[in-house]
């Protein structure tokens, strides 16, 4: 297997560890999100200034504002999704938050008049049925699980804004400049958010701080970077469908590490959501 396919697999595996590190960290959700993006921004900043300094100087005010807005959506995504893991299982949370390609397809149609083919429409319907099944499972389990599912689905909606803006910016902006601006702006938003709600950045155990660092290094910098790097060598369609391996990997890790056993409803609903997305974005349907 060629190295870019190995990189794609490694990226998906790295991202799958995010939910485990979050579950293990004993800190408020907003603080975990702030540390994740904050550490990533600290690491990427000197690299971006050295390698992409010229490009950053030549960006227009509009491009800066769009990148900052993208970072705002990214901050909202992580705040919502990480919060969801406090209320529901890893399987439900990760499956629902991975439904973002469906929201991107719908938003692209409404905002940019991009065509929705029959295959995409069928995929959306199948995914919605899967989400309803997981929602029913959450309702049976009680209010906290319902809240977690709603937060995860809201996180998927939030990342849609990040992806749509990123699609426009990445046509002209290099990957290093883009992730520097989005990670930094997202980190600033999350830090301010945490301070406003009274979150503390100190006083946690050494193990929790280790989880913060691992979360920033493995899923954020290594995982996301490998997926973005793969886009240069692998069709975007393949990357989109490969990311569907994240819920599978996260579920296996949750079973092995957290002893979380997925219910029949979660498995059935998850398979429908992931199958619907794979159907919608297979062959030449992905943009």
pLDDT in tens, 135-150: 777 676 666 788 888 9
d(CA 119, CA 282): 9
Burial of 237 (0-12, 13-18, 19+ CB in 10 A): middle
pLDDT tens column, 76-131: 999 999 999 998 888 888 888 887 777 877 887 787 777 777 887 888 788 788 87
d(CA 144, CA 138): 8
Residue, of 183 and 171, whose pLDDT is higher: 183
pLDDT tens column, 229-276: 776 676 555 666 677 778 888 888 888 998 888 888 888 888 888 888
d(CA 100, CA 31): 24
Q: Under 8 Å CB-to-CB from 118, ≥6 apart: which residues?
A: none
User: Measured at the alpha carbon of residue 47, what is the angle toward residues 43 and 52, in degrees to the nearest 5?
Assistant: 140
d(CA 52, CA 44): 11
* Least confident residue range of 65-69, 77-81, 125-129, 158-162: 125-129
Reported pTM: 0.86
pLDDT given at position 224: 80
8 Å CB contact between 36 and 214: no
pLDDT given at position 234: 64
pLDDT given at position 1: 55
- Provide the residue ranges of all domains of the chain, joining segments of one domain with +: 26-280
pLDDT given at position 232: 64
8 Å CB contact between 82 and 31: no
Helices vs strands, H then E, count in the chain: 15, 0
Instruction: Assess whether pLDDT exceeds 70 at residue 160.
Output: yes
The CA radius of gyration of the chain, in Å to the nearest whole number, is 18
Instruction: Assess whether pLDDT exceeds 90 at residue 41.
Output: yes
* Least confident residue range of 43-52, 77-86, 183-192, 234-243: 234-243
pLDDT given at position 140: 67
* Least confident residue range of 89-93, 123-127, 153-157, 198-202: 123-127
pLDDT given at position 286: 44
For the record, the structure tokens of 180 come out as 């520097």
Confidence of residue 285 (pLDDT cuts 50, 70, 90): very low
């Amino acid at each position: 297997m060629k190295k870019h396919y190995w990189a794609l697999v490694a990226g998906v595996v790295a991202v799958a560890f995010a939910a485990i590190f979050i579950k293990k960290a004993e800190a408020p959700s907003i603080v975990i999100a702030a540390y994740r993006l904050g550490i990533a921004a600290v690491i990427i900043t000197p690299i971006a200034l050295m390698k992409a300094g010229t490009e950053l100087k030549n960006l227009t005010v509009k491009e800066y504002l769009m990148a900052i807005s993208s970072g705002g959506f990214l901050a909202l995504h992580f705040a919502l999704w990480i919060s969801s893991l406090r209320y529901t299982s890893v399987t439900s949370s990760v499956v629902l938050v991975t439904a973002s390609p469906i929201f991107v397809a719908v938003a692209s149609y409404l905002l940019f008049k991009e065509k929705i083919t029959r295959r995409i429409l069928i995929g959306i319907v199948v995914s919605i049925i899967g989400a309803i099944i997981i929602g029913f499972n959450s309702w049976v389990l009680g209010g906290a699980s319902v809240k977690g599912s709603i937060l995860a689905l809201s996180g998927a909606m939030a990342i849609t804004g990040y992806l749509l803006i990123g699609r426009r910016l990445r046509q002209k902006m290099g990957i290093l400049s883009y992730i520097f601006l989005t990670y930094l702006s997202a980190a600033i938003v999350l830090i301010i958010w945490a301070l406003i709600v009274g979150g503390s950045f100190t006083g946690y155990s050494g193990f929790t701080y280790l989880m913060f660092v691992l979360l920033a290094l493995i899923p954020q910098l290594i995982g996301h970077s490998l997926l973005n790097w793969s886009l240069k060598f692998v069709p975007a369609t393949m990357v989109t469908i490969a990311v569907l391996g994240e819920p599978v990997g996260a579920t296996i890790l949750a079973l092995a590490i957290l002893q979380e056993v997925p219910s029949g409803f979660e498995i059935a609903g998850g398979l429908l959501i992931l199958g619907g997305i794979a159907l919608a974005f297979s062959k030449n349907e992905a943009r």
